[in-house]
Chain A
């Protein structure tokens, strides 16, 4: 197998958004004790073989020296990912947990929660695979450093693992993965023009104070908690029909977003959090390659920013219009692409410095909550390690602040909503209310 990274001396130059992910990683380590990580979970209908799991993963991972990489600087100050070049196996954690035999009353979700809240150790550890045997249910979870993958990249990596299991050395792994990226030290005029677009948007957003639930940083680091609200094929089909009727053809994302807005607004009101406007970032996939394997590693996402005022929320059709108009306006001004382009300008700044300036334009409140909708699942098979997949969902750690996020994903016609919150930001009753509202109003 020959990877083309050899020609670039084992370097992958990071883009601006990768650098932003690095800044968020530092913020999260300082505020929660663990970095900017996420977890994709594959629920299986039958327990996979443990020895096959460890042996095949060990073989598969040996193909990717990129996994044990660290961040370094080129003499131009451009940051890059330096691959491990000592020929050793990448330091990836593999665990097997048997909840049914440990004598506790812990659940599968408790185990998954523990994995996502465990920080990676050192600067070379970025991945952990977990096989969990629960009581009547089992799963394989991949916990990943967000600096290495985005959500679709992680799904694709698992897809590649499944292909490797089926086809061995003839699989797509052997056909190669693009693990090179150019320095991108050209087109400065274009970058500064993109910076102007971003700057204008940020100034517009900072004119009103941002409504946010205060975070209590006392009493040490707190972990993230997750609740998965899953809709089966029939329920999801009905949601798509209602989205069509209320928001228009293919407007599922604005529809889900509006429902989440209305629900979280009720919690903000009950908490007495008033004044200012809601500001919510929503991620957007900006991949350009025909083959996702060519944009598998690192981040290929950008952001939309939505600002919603109190008076826009009471009427659901008005809220939908506001969201659609803002989405249209940002696509028109190419805001997500401009944010991606302009962010490359900040790569020269050290991460500790960026951590301090990150808060400046919005006075320490970055957002009210986070929202994401991944409309396509990049895992194309229905099986994993000989077991049928019954569902795939994500458990992200959200940037803090705001420490609250709702993440939608789809798998085989199913729709999942993951409610993620930093312990203490939402009460159990509030999370139950969100789940009830999503089930009742979507």
Chain B
């Protein structure tokens, strides 16, 4: 799966979690500015584990990896 495809799937998921249109979700915005809270973020981590078979909750992610949807999808694409 390419970085763009991962980004697209994450945006769809965020759109469902935050009840916003996917088109309104900027991939370079930080998650907290997109209206994601603790629960929403755990939902994203569960989605990644279920669909991309990557367990991120216990991984050594740093602040930069979570900067935005784009940063996270880039990180994921390097791990697949």
Q: List residues of chain A with CB under 8 Å of any chain B CB.
A: 244, 249-254, 284-285, 287-290, 324, 327-328, 331-332, 373, 375-376
Contacts and interface: CB of A to CB of B under 8 A. Distances in A.
B31 A250 contact: yes
B38 A254 contact: yes
Contact of B36 (A250, A285, A288, A327): A250
A373 B39 CA distance: 10
Contact of A324 (B57, B61, B63, B66): B57
B70 to A, nearest CB: 15
Nearest to A287: B19
A328 B42 contact: yes
Contacts of A290: 19-21
A328 B38 contact: no
Contact of B19 (A244, A253, A289): A289
Nearest to A240: B32
A257 to B, nearest CB: 9
B35 A249 contact: no
A252 B31 CA distance: 13
- Residue of B36, B40, B42, B63 contacting most chain A CB atoms (<10 Å): B42
B37 A250 contact: yes
B41 interface: yes
A250 B20 contact: no
A412 B49 CA distance: 34
B46 A251 contact: no
B57 A253 contact: no
Given A289-B19, A290-B20, A252 B46 contact: no
Contact of A375 (B19, B38, B49, B61): B38
B66 A249 contact: yes
A203 to B, nearest CB: 23
A246 to B, nearest CB: 13
Interface string B18-50: 011100000000011001111111110110011
8 contacts: A244-B63, A249-B41, A252-B38, A254-B38, A289-B19, A290-B20, A290-B21, A327-B39
A249 B63 contact: yes
A331 B37 contact: no
Contact of A284 (B36, B39, B41): B39
Contacts of A251: 38, 41
B31 A375 contact: no
Contacts of A288: 19
A290 B17 CA distance: 10
Interface in B43-80: 43, 45-46, 49-50, 57, 61, 63, 66
Given A249-B41, A328-B46, A331-B43, 11 more contacts: A249-B66, A250-B66, A288-B19, A324-B42, A324-B57, A327-B39, A328-B42, A328-B45, A332-B49, A332-B50, A375-B37
A285 B35 CA distance: 13
B18 to A, nearest CB: 9
Given A249-B66, A250-B41, A290-B19, A332 B35 contact: no
Contacts of B40: 250
Interface residues of B, number: 22
B30 to A, nearest CB: 9
Contacts of B42: 324, 327-328, 331
A254 B49 CA distance: 20
A376 B49 CA distance: 26
B26 to A, nearest CB: 17
- Residue of A254, A285, A290 contacting most chain B CB atoms (<10 Å): A290
A331 B41 CA distance: 10
Contacts of B63: 244, 249
Contacts of B31: 249-250
Contacts of B50: 332
A415 to B, nearest CB: 13
Contacts of A253: 37-39
Contacts of B35: 376
A250 B46 contact: no
Contacts of A324: 42, 57
Contacts of B19: 287-290
List 6 A-B pairs, minimum CB-CB distance, nearest first: A253-B38, A375-B37, A250-B41, A290-B19, A249-B66, A331-B42
Nearest to A410: B37
A252 B37 CA distance: 8
Nearest to A245: B63
Nearest to B21: A290
Contacts of B46: 328, 331-332
Contacts of A250: 31-32, 36-38, 40-41, 66
A332 B43 CA distance: 8
Contacts of A244: 63
